Structure 1
Amino acid sequence: MIYLDHNATTPTLPAAARAAADWLLSGVAGNPSSAHAAGRRARALVEKARRRVAVAAGAQPAEVIFTSGATEALHLALGGLMPRGSHVVTSSVEHPALYGAAEVAGARVTQVPTDARGRLDPDAFAAARLPDTALVAVMAAQNELGNEYPVSAIAAAVAPVPVLCDAAQWFGKRPLDFSTSGCAAVVLSAHKIGGPAGVGALVVARGRALGSTVAGGPQERGRRAGTENVAGILGFGAAAEAVPARLAAMTDVERRRDRLAAALRADVPGFIEHGDPSARLPNTLSFRIDGVAGDLLLAALDLEGICVSSGSACSAGALEPSPVLQALGLDAETARAGLRVSLGPETTDAEVDALAELLPRLVARARTKTHAEVRPCA
């Protein structure tokens, strides 16, 4: 199997798996809130992991709040950084979790549109503010397109309105320095950097008031109740410690991505890239093949053992048009054609070359066959 869907989730790093497994298999229980020796040991390990995440994110340990993942972190931010029913300015290409969190928070939302390349203008965020705007929410990097956004410039343009940044895709692919970002809060996800799924963090600037959306205990300094997921947090800490090595690997990742893009441009008629090639994540390639359905190619690649993403949301078994591609101005049929390839540090030249060699043949077959006739290439 060739796995080229790292923006969806990443393989767990051995160090992260060992950190979680060592705790689970230690035979010693320990609730970090307990005062006895086992509890103190658990607390010490959790705080060590917190320091590791803070260092990787350019933050202070006291600013890191562990959650069950990026989705919960977004809900905590939208529910805790502003009064219910507040006005929020965001973009038209955010992750669905952001829109869901805003709805749960009762927010009134203004979406700033992108241009045809998915680019965002900081001045447009400033212009979208109302007198009662309580928060601006924007991702650092778009998960489907790979576009990188000028979050610090947006924060400067909308000041003094606080900015919430979803950095789940950015973290581990580009350097993150929360202390100089200009943001009030940043969202992180462990499984996007080689950590376990089911754990993430909301990083909130010191002195910034944050109400709790999960009540019932004093955990995370009263901002997120519930016994900590010690194993997951330890895995997150180990993955965070490996972020510098992950960042160093991005030079080779980008080289492989560019090599793939060049091959597809040369060998696949109708190959069209999405997004902004001048400011995008080093691992991401979003594209469509003119006249070929994305779900057909996705299935054909899957039959060949290559895992990529359609870039669209599957609902009730039917492939829906990508809302992100539609936000760029594409019609529903064209938006269904999108594919996303996302590489990781583990991706090899041979794997990239395999896709570059296979896709032209699959496209040629797809243009002459129905969905039911798609079979593996000989």
Structure 2
Amino acid sequence: MSKLIYLDNAATTKVHPQVLEAMMPYFSEEYGNPSSIYSFAGKSKKAVEDARQTVADFLGANANEIYFTGGGSESDNWALKATAFAKKEKGNHIITSAIEHHAILHTCEYLEKNGFEVTYVGVDEDGVIKLDELKAAIRPTTIMISVMFANNEIGTIQPIKEIGEIAKEHDIIFHTDAVQAYGHVPINVDEYHIDMLSASGHKINGPKGIGIMYLRNSVKIGPFIHGGAQERNRRAGTHNVPGIVGFGKATEIAKETMAERSAYETKLRDRLIEGLTAIPNSRLNGHRTNRLPNNVNVGFEFIEGESMLILLDQKGICGSSGSACTSGSLDPSHVLLAIGLPHEKAHGSLRLTLSEETTEEDVDFVIEQVKANVDRLRSMSPLYTDYLKSQQ
């Protein structure tokens, strides 16, 4: 068996050993329910509140503005649905982008079936939202703007501060899905005028099944899950204490290591981009520099991305052709279509997302294998044969 080279960190990450160590006592020794009043449970409650403060400090927020959820998708659903129904007397219009995660897009579809109107703002060829189009979409009935901080497929970082300023100027609630950006780039909710923010633990070497919603105190929305007084009556359900502790510890580590980790991953990212885009008839998807430090997304003409993934897997290389949430779909990525790629080119894209454990040797081996597999797959492609004939 070849050495495992895991390059799908946008899908999920390995739990950091220190995160696992911090979590372990709350599975067995300190198992009290933090909602209980006896002193034994007080240790669990303190652990939850310490984690809440850690997350708040990381975002430049107040601790009472941080709510723990079951993950990024839940936080996205809560942000959109609760805001829509809380503000429906003011208006029924929501603005988002055409390249959002499906947790946003499918929630918007649900809201459209329930009397709300949604505008999906386009992006340029690098995946950057068109600010002029965003401004033009604002109506007197607009109650919310939701734009992701960084795209999960192509890694492009959005002009969040500018979007926040636009929203604030028009007194519109601004939500950002920061699931991919949290812990990888600096985020300050006041500086960026963010009213609501979603993040997830398993993208930053934390556990799966835990997320957060930042909710500015001035934003008044209802609960998402009813049934108990947890999370200040906003999100019922017994606290996932080990998960919350893990999220807090992962945030702490991410904050401490961000600058060094980002520099290292950016160096490897650029090495991988240069190697892969040297392959003829290839294209970098997403902004060349204004992208997540660990994200590489390259499209290759005349091949199928799924076939490439199977061949790479045989060499111990884990990658993706897009979002893990749609890996079972045969449809081309909505993100790649939105940046202007035709269907046949969108099908041939490969997403590789690095970590601090990725080495230069790993990157060079991946480049070598991708080149060999592109040649192999193109040799079996009638379209590539026709293309070569047309070049003669």
TM-score (norm 1): 0.93
Taking the aligned partners of 1:360 and 1:64, their CA distance within structure 2 comes to 46
CA contact (8 A) 1:89 1:109 kept: yes
Partner of 2:270: 258
2:66 aligned partner, one-letter code = V
* Runs of 4+ displaced beyond 6 Å: 313-316
CA contact (8 A) 1:79 1:212 kept: no
Taking the aligned partners of 1:121 and 1:191, their CA distance within structure 2 comes to 30
1:159-193 deviation per Cα after TM superposition (whole angstroms, max 9, x unaligned): 31110011111111111111221011111111111
CA contact (8 A) 2:152 2:323 kept: no
Change (3 A) 1:34 1:89: same
1:204-258 deviation per Cα after TM superposition (whole angstroms, max 9, x unaligned): 1122212112111110001111111001001001101112233121101000010
Say how many residue pairs are matched. 368
Q: In the alignment, does 2:49 pair up with 1:40?
A: no
Taking the aligned partners of 1:29 and 1:314, their CA distance within structure 2 comes to 32
Farther off after superposition, 132-141 or 271-280:
271-280
Taking the aligned partners of 1:317 and 1:161, their CA distance within structure 2 comes to 36
Partner of 1:374: none
Q: In the alignment, does 2:28 pair up with 1:25?
A: yes
Q: Please point out which of 47, 72, 94 is paired with 1:70.
A: 72
**How far did residue 62 of structure 1 move?**
0.8
Q: In the alignment, does 2:301 pair up with 1:298?
A: no
Q: Please point out which of 156, 162, 165 is paired with 2:165.
A: 156
Gaps of 5+ in 1: 371-378
Change (3 A) 1:184 1:51: same
SS in 1 for 2:145: strand
Change (3 A) 1:263 1:316: closer
Q: What aligned pairs does 1:244-323 form with structure 2 within 5 A after superposition?
A: 244-248=255-259, 249-266=261-278, 268-311=279-322, 319-323=330-334
Taking the aligned partners of 1:222 and 1:203, their CA distance within structure 2 comes to 15
Partner of 1:219: 230
Taking the aligned partners of 1:240 and 1:170, their CA distance within structure 2 comes to 12
Partner of 1:128: 137
Partner of 1:61: 63
SS in 1 for 2:352: strand
Partner of 1:12: 15
TM-score (norm 2): 0.90
CA contact (8 A) 1:10 1:191 kept: yes
Partner of 1:103: 109
Taking the aligned partners of 1:97 and 1:279, their CA distance within structure 2 comes to 24
**How far did residue 316 of structure 1 move?**
9.4
SS in 1 for 2:274: helix
CA contact (8 A) 1:82 1:134 kept: yes
Taking the aligned partners of 1:68 and 1:98, their CA distance within structure 2 comes to 16
SS in 2 for 1:341: strand
1:311-354 deviation per Cα after TM superposition (whole angstroms, max 9, x unaligned): 16787955321111111122222211111111111211121111
Taking the aligned partners of 1:313 and 1:39, their CA distance within structure 2 comes to 37
Q: In the alignment, does 2:122 pair up with 1:113?
A: yes
Taking the aligned partners of 2:135 and 2:155, their CA distance within structure 1 comes to 24
Query: What is the alpha-carbon root mean square deviation over aligned residues?
Result: 1.7
Taking the aligned partners of 2:137 and 2:13, their CA distance within structure 1 comes to 36
CA contact (8 A) 2:71 2:208 kept: yes
Q: Please point out which of 180, 192, 195 is paired with 2:206.
A: 195
**How far did residue 288 of structure 1 move?**
0.8
Identity %: 37
**How far did residue 3 of structure 1 move?**
0.2
**How far did residue 279 of structure 1 move?**
1.3
CA contact (8 A) 1:168 1:187 kept: yes
Partner of 1:176: 187
Partner of 1:2: 5
SS in 2 for 1:287: strand
Q: Please point out which of 63, 88, 93 is paired with 1:87.
A: 93
Change (3 A) 1:124 1:14: same
CA contact (8 A) 2:284 2:298 kept: yes
Taking the aligned partners of 1:140 and 1:344, their CA distance within structure 2 comes to 19
1:24-49 deviation per Cα after TM superposition (whole angstroms, max 9, x unaligned): 132x4311110011221111110011
1:58 aligned partner, one-letter code = G
